[in-house]
Amino acid sequence: MADSTNLSDLKLKIIQRQQERLGKNAQNASQLQDRFLESRLAGLEQAAALFQLQAAAVEGGSPVSFAAPQRPQKPAVYTYEQLDEFGRGDIVRCLGPAYAVYNGRRTPRIPNTDLLVMSRVTAIQGQRFNPAAGGEIEVEYDVPLKAWYFEDNSYPTIPYSIYMEIALQPCGFLSAHLGTQLLFPEQDYFFRNLDGETCLLKQLDLRGRTITTHASLLKTMVSGKQIIQSFKFSLSVEDGEPIFEGSSVFGFFPPEAMAAQIGRDSGQETLPQYEQPGQSMTGSRILLDQSPFYRAEIGRPFYRLPDGKLKLLKEVFVSPAGGQEKKGYSYANKPVDRQDWFYACHFYGDPVMPGSLGVEAILEALQAFALQQDLGQGLTNPHFELVPGEAMEWKYRGQILQSHKMMKLEVHLTRLESTPGQVLLMGNASLWADRIRIYELKNTGIRLVEG
């Protein structure tokens, strides 16, 4: 038992040491010492985890989930400190003197603080200031053991929005490194994601692990002073196991082009099905703050909606027989609050709600549908999970700005399938900024499984 106590204490010390290192953002002065400590303690950490797993098996309890020890860091081409400068500081300190032309001006940035999910750039290729030649990037992200999105999610898995950010942020950084915006240095560009397709390949516990993103710039097209670029990307963990992949398109737009955005319906005002005149849809309207959906049941701690920074909805309407295919329909809305946390993180000098969080809000509307219909009733300890192997497509033709009044969305279910140990919900969705439909998603979904 003394050995067990010592190993447990050692495990705690290891985790505390990792958290302290992450909290200091891997400062250059301590990196060598950290690597030395990690390499010496990794074997002991594995021994402690093995001992506790064996003890749990002997006692008949559930094994404790342990994060795999991190591999030694690769040398950084761009450090976290430089990435942070690009996110919210002096762009020259990250990308060099050629970018001094943007001093005192707004320029495309990457997300910062809570939404910055890159720890270091470990490799980058391409001819600088010639984005037409393409390029490649490798980025590592050290997933914190207690990231805010684990704490705020209803179950400690990475939300889809964060997978999207881990995949897409390296694309934006590669574009900036290659000097895309310097093709027209006099322009004050807005940088926006336009569309893409992603697929979660495998659901893993990624707490305390390192995710590596490989991204490639495939094509750069210039029309007038608008610049469109397409990318592909893949995410893997320490042993090279792929977990997420996809492709996406981004654009650099002058202010006049942004002002002329017309949404997904050619500038026409449209309404969600729930709001259309004469619509008589049978269902239940739920004010979420007055519902039990944020409070877990006794013995079922994960059967609830996300909270905290992931609390993205105010009101939901659920129709079990509604929607375009009569398989179910969920409508939701939320008043726009110009003080919402994500505006300060995305982007510096250009506050806009991340498209990834719009996707997250749509998935939460599906979760609310499942809770209202109690689709987890056949499971002992259900929790919500993303669906591996299903490719989701999206198109963005606008954004939620601080000046908007209301975000609205709807999901038309295309599949509602119950099999032993799982309930699957898939659908097609749209999202509105006030009365203009700006996002369209195809084949997005969640599932309920045993916790």
How many angstroms separate the CA atoms of 229 and 86, rounded? 20
Set 177, 214, 346, 404: catalytic member: 346
Structure-token pair, residue 352: 């806009």
Q: Which backbone phi and psi does 50 adopt, to 5 degrees? A: -65, -45
**Cβ–Cβ under 8 Å, residues 329 and 411:** yes
Burial of 121 (0-12, 13-18, 19+ CB in 10 A): buried
Mind giving me the DSSP string for 75-93?
PPSB-HHHHHHHHHS-HHH
Question: Pairing mode, if any, of strands 382-386 and 436-450?
Answer: antiparallel
How many angstroms separate the CA atoms of 70 and 46, rounded? 11
> Which residues have a Cβ under 8 Å from the Cβ of 405 and sit 6 or more positions away?
335, 336, 434
How many angstroms separate the CA atoms of 303 and 370, rounded? 10
How many angstroms separate the CA atoms of 430 and 409, rounded? 6
Is 346 annotated as catalytic? yes
Q: What does the CA dihedral 368, 369, 373, 376 come to, rounded to 10 degrees?
A: -70
* SS3 label, residue 156: coil
Residue with tokens 């190993």, as numbered in its chain? 7
Residue with tokens 């519902």, as numbered in its chain? 291
How many angstroms separate the CA atoms of 198 and 194, rounded? 13
Q: Which residues are the active-site residues?
A: 346
